[in-house]
Structure 1
């Protein structure tokens, strides 16, 4: 959960303790060269599908009992639906019986001790949780716990720091020293939230990096734990991680709000707790800009997967366009395409889908987004519980997960010469035992057909989603005319004999643009712009922003279509939209290979 979102939903009482309140544009993704995945990031089943098994303010009581009992009762149907792992909410005690788990009070209380007026957490008791995990494991479903490691809230007592009264004493009187005798005070924190509207009081510097032009300094929550230069805190949180892993027999972790944690400590924790166990880890580093997300992937060295936030925003743009957005924006999109081995793709989550959320959900054309992530070669897709069970999308999602298991194999291919403003096509070539697929997405108001040369020669194909009842037969080259309904999706799969060949060899080249340019002041940035959609089609609004972290060198990486000649230039732009173009003739080259670098100087 993003902490500034939590801050909007969790207020402070007058005493200082927390209380519950609980025309089409081409989208041009920046796609850096793939990073090597950690050799220990290997716990994902083949074509696995994760589910976020909660949403904001889930009911305290369900027909099956507590939320833990609800999840346990669904183990068999989740397996039948193709779900291979559940991300469960924070299982430890918050400030009240209704706390959603991110207002963390005691990380060792999993619904076992009478603290903050309750034994059970919002989700149930420790016994119910362990029973649910046993049921899920019995169906072969992995369990990933939500690890909130950057703050504590609802302190037991106050203390004085530099003449200021702060609530930072955590003694855990209801638990005592069971499981851990570690206590927390102001020495363990860098700052804390004051009473409503009083902001923050700091007595130490924040120890997390100011990623993305200080983007990490959004609103925080509770008392911020210090990990840099605090070996005791570091050791205690590692000990807790190992304890809860054994206590719940966890298969992996979702790390909350890691922009607010000292990054070297994130790496240290993952090495000490996840290590070479084969358990999975994914971190919430909420960067809308793809370059920023790739920078974080570099900083964490492939130890953790990352949620594909840029792809979510691409889906949101598609949703907001509601038929007017350019579907070519899905080509080579997001962190999923740039860094598939480390990407967890998603459509919505608990932070985008609840009243008062600072992020918007994907409300239109949502199944097109699910069809995209569930058939793609790259990425580990995450389905949202509420979409599946409460928004009426379960049957369609279940059908797509079945298609994923039966057909989503082999190399993926983007049909850049076929796609247009309304229709997006993508294929999987299949392998020796799986026949592959052809995906068509249409956000337009009219049914469309596309002539496409597929990997499937002399084959008969049907739409396995059932959205289209036609039967299409390809010729000896694999070419056929494939329909897709208005505002709909189709997944065409081969059903008869014939031969399967890979699609044309045209792929993408990860091109790194390096330009030396020193004529900038604060508020001005350098962009690359060019003749292709990936470079903004000479539209300055769609130019690709470069990083000036190594000023006066500006750098960024973009996936360009291999074998297609590109013209480009650099521009300087400020926040008011004022643009200065590089002079002289357009620069020209033809991308080739998997990656290359352009090194330029703008005088």
Structure 2
């Protein structure tokens, strides 16, 4: 069995769904997984298992072998979307499996046909259920695509006894190509691990919630349009509605957004680089056009503190700290956020820290200065390091990791965490197995550093050997590359 699965891994398969896992001893499953190779991306294969509820053994017996499909989750979602979606606020306490050990779904190839769960035949309600699943911070979500059927034992579309190409027409049903689903996948990936926040129940059919300050979603399962004001905790600005691929936008002012939700519809937006069209459809500069500015600041904080950016223009609060833009801590100790800014505009800005009591701590360096053009712009900064005294070094390291483990850089400078693993800089795995990120450090400075790995439980592994060393000059744009030791 392991040899066969390894052949699939060699072809590029990243993981496996194990059918009827509960009919195999968990020790046998783990013995098979122990023989599997890493994927072509260098990670362990992702394993999730079908452990149908009811007769023994329970799902918890299989947690050591991988994640488990959560049938109760799908049942609770069906009950809510065929009843009151407001009931979803209590989903975590409704008997669903632990999020760290489970995989959610709205339906699958068995349960859509036996009536246990929803199916494509539920129309827009089925789509909304998938929007909710992709938005809610719980277990690993899955979107099921299949084919239309009129009887429970009907075969897939075929011609002369052969299954036809899966072209998402002619009887094939492909939610993964639906604009709402593709938009919510982007949304899901953008908000990361931010917790559910600012839950709002407007009626039994209308709910809204955020994921930290990274994104917000509102759902109307009712039969008529509904307009409500939601407090969503995100920065003021204009955002694209990913559910309709950016055809409509959302304006946030004073931390609030008034949304008109279509019947059986949703609106979702996030702090990110979502662009509904390429640069060819950018509007000309008429004095009102905006561009996205992404702020990234290395800023370790104490418990209860958040980091905001404030500046000389209205989009950054006009130096009023009460209107400063709160940044997301999802990449801590780097705080990040996107702000809609006027094009071709010069401005000054600084970062501030706010605690729960509202106390403000300003950076001690001089104001930072910048200018927007007509394209998106990004800023990489470090707390208390002035732009004039700083340069950027891009750290690259080739390092393979197990699933759930990430690579960081930590070193002798404050902007590299002062050797504290808790304040290490998380590197991006976008070019895996190369991990990379630019970091702001002082000019004309020699420093030492190392790469470390952290797993999902926070365990730290330092690379071996002596400390690495690097010296910056007075220019900008330095790069250093290496291989994990």
Structure with the bigger percentage of strand = 2
Same fold (TM over 0.5): no
RCO higher in structure (CA 8 A, sep ≥6)? 1
